[in-house]
């Protein structure tokens, strides 16, 4: 599972770089992409352009929404990657997941 939020420091190429990573998620056969926040929608767009149209991509509005989704979705043995700028607040979710491990 990849949980990705906006990478705020990318500047004018931000949209393209988010799109590129979304495409890579599909190529790597990651089972679930959780896109957190409107500014990160490029991840979902890239994944969909690369061929992911099903339930493999879920867009949520906030860290709290991502937390709720993971609480329903995670199973023992799952691996979760969380990546975003510190300003997105996803680090809090990462700390929680590590604390539960």
pLDDT in tens, 61-86: 999 999 999 999 999 999 999 999 99
3-state helix, strand, coil split of the chain in percent (to 5) is 55, 15, 30
Q: Mean of the pLDDT values across residues 87-94?
A: 93
What is the predicted pLDDT for the residue at 101? 62
Dist CA 30 CA 96 (whole Å): 22
DSSP state, residue 31: S
* Three-class HEC string of 47-71: HHHHCCCCCCEEEECCHHHHHHHHH
Domain ranges for the chain: 2-100
Q: Which fold has domain 2-100?
A: 3.90.190
Q: Mean of the pLDDT values across residues 30-38?
A: 96
**What is the value of pTM for the model shown?**
0.93
Asked if pLDDT for residue 2 goes beyond 90, the answer is yes
- Banded pLDDT at 11 (limits 50, 70, 90): confident
Radius of gyration of the chain (CA): 13
């Amino acid at each position: 599972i990849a949980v990705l939020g906006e990478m705020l420091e990318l500047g004018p190429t931000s949209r393209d770089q988010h799109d590129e990573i979304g495409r890579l998620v599909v190529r790597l056969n990651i089972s679930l992409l959780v896109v957190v926040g409107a500014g990160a929608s490029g991840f979902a767009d890239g994944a969909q352009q690369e061929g992911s149209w099903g339930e493999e991509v879920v867009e949520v509005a906030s860290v709290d929404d991502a937390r709720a989704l993971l609480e329903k979705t995670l199973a023992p043995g799952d691996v979760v990657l969380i990546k975003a700028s510190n300003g997105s607040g996803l680090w809090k979710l990462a700390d929680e997941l590590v604390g539960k491990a």
